[in-house]
Structure 1
């Protein structure tokens, strides 16, 4: 997250923690992608956190969908602490994901009142 304050009323953050592929396809990716494509939200951020980072690093179809999200303007970031624990940080960076420590940015989103979905 940049240092600027975003319009919290038009910013959605999806915190993806599940290592379940079906959850990724049928909820996380479907809603995140369509939120940006259909302009339901001006700013859309997908945070890859925990088991989702391992799943993403191993699944080519999910990687292709994340690349599409990045191309259309979804901000995709991953928790560095989690990705490092799974040994997948470099792979996530190769996908165009900003891998960084996310505790402080997540706290800032919450304090700003940004809309947050956790899956």
Structure 2
């Protein structure tokens, strides 16, 4: 098993825009830009996915993150439940089933932070 101790997966599940803007996205983007971890990924999950499709400011932040090379993934099941799969794809987000990848992150020793 490869050591992923210096890898961070941030699970953004909150539908609260203040949590998104003032904590989750700011920390995640800076962790990537400042190389606080070897690899950083943002996982958009549940209510955060719906919030993202309704909030232009958050969409712009996600575009900046993607433009800076940060990996952004979203749960396909959640996106399907909310009917927003196409909107997330249009933002450039990798929409896929996330149960197996998250389990792999956990088993492989990634640091996992949830907002």
| Shorter-chain TM band | over 0.9
2: CA distance, partners of 1:85 / 1:7: 34
1:69 and 2:65 aligned: yes
1:115 and 2:111 aligned: yes
Query: Deviations 1:62-115 (Å, cap 9, x if unpaired)?
Result: 000001111111110000000110111100000000000000000010100100
User: Structure 1: where are the runs of 5+ without partners?
Assistant: none
Number of residues paired by the alignment?
115
- Counterpart in the other structure of 2:89: 93
Aligned pairs for 1:1-119 (under 5 A) are 7-119=3-115
User: Structure 2: where are the runs of 5+ without partners?
Assistant: none
2: CA distance, partners of 1:102 / 1:49: 9
- Using structure 2 for the length normalisation, give the TM-score: 0.96
Q: What secondary structure is seen at the aligned counterpart in 2 of 1:82?
A: helix
Q: What secondary structure is seen at the aligned counterpart in 2 of 1:9?
A: coil
Q: Quote the RMSD (CA, aligned, Å).
A: 1.2
